[in-house]
Amino acid sequence: MNETVDFNDIKKLFDETWDVGYLSENHLLQSAYSPLKNKFHVFGYDYTNSTQFKDIKNAIVLIKTGHTWDYSHYDQAIDILKESPLEGWYPAYTNYKQAAIHAGLGVRAKNSLVYSFKFGFDCHIAMVCFHAKIINYPDRSKKRNYGLWKHCEGCDDCIVNCPAKAIHYDDKEPPWIDSAACENFIFFGKDGRVPNVLNYWHKNVHPEIPQDVIDSIDTLEKMNKTIGTFQWDANGYSYDGNVTKRHGKKVYVPHCRECTSQPRCSKWNGNYPYDGSE
């Protein structure tokens, strides 16, 4: 195995739907020490966020354009690297948001999410560690194209327009998001702009369940006792652990802070991405 690998040889493997950044050993450890919630959808070699990245000198951070509930970028990144001549790498699980910031690929927005300089909020993040030392990586001191980020400076539209009222921010404390309020809203909230998971699932996947049963569910506890967890396994729907499909075609379902894909503010336009999925 080579002792070094050129960053440019890594970057050229990934097309324009990706952004690639470098993560030093020190920043890798800082990301690992940063708190995060456990997630079920990752391939995670380092699933418990252990800080023991043995013999790892550095890593690359990958940002892929895309929507929530589509985690196929993990497999895509691995397939790309498997087909390359590069050796001595493996995917790892850490605090991806912090890793992307340390790699200079984006900044932390007021909604607590990472704003990618290349894709805005339309992005997913992954990381790959390398045993070899990465050379010729980009100089973070050089100014990047900040894209639409300038529209966010001095703006509170995401806070004001968050339908769950989950984003909290003032001049004295950094922004934080009430993920419990967000989760409850996206599952059971009533808002004409945002189809909740329960009603979407009932209408499109398992419409045979009586309406009065669905109407009685307003918490995750009641849902688990009444119908169990959501199974995307009927009416043409399927879920492979990375993406939901209907009749083999990828569809977007309401889940997991859709503000990642379509922030509700005056600087962004577009509909929620569920049109045409039924």
pLDDT of 44 strictly over 50: no
50-85 residue pLDDT tens: 555 666 789 999 999 876 567 788 899 999 999 999
For residues 203 and 229, which has the higher predicted lDDT (pLDDT)? Answer: 203
Task: Say whether pTM exceeds 0.75.
Answer: no
164-188 residue pLDDT tens: 888 887 777 777 788 788 888 888 8
- How would residue 10 be classed by pLDDT, with cut points 50, 70 and 90? very high
221-255 residue pLDDT tens: 899 899 888 888 899 999 887 778 899 988 877 76
124-142 residue pLDDT tens: 899 999 989 999 999 887 7
Which range among 1-5, 96-100, 149-153 shows the weakest confidence by mean pLDDT? 149-153
- 181 phi/psi in degrees, rounded to 5: -65, -40
- Max mean pLDDT among 37-41, 164-168, 192-196, 267-271 falls in 164-168
| Distance separating alpha carbons of residues 230 and 132, to the nearest angstrom | 43
Nearest in space to 268 (alpha carbons), one of 152, 159, 144: 152
- Write down the pLDDT at residue 274: 44
Tokens linked to 245: 């499909």
Q: Hey, what amino acid is at 82? A: K
pLDDT of 278 strictly over 50: no
Task: Find out if CATH 3.40.50 is the number for domain 4-151.
Answer: no
- Write down the pLDDT at residue 265: 55
Residues of the chain with CATH 3.40.109: 4-151
For residues 29 and 46, which has the higher predicted lDDT (pLDDT)? Answer: 29
| Distance separating alpha carbons of residues 110 and 158, to the nearest angstrom | 8
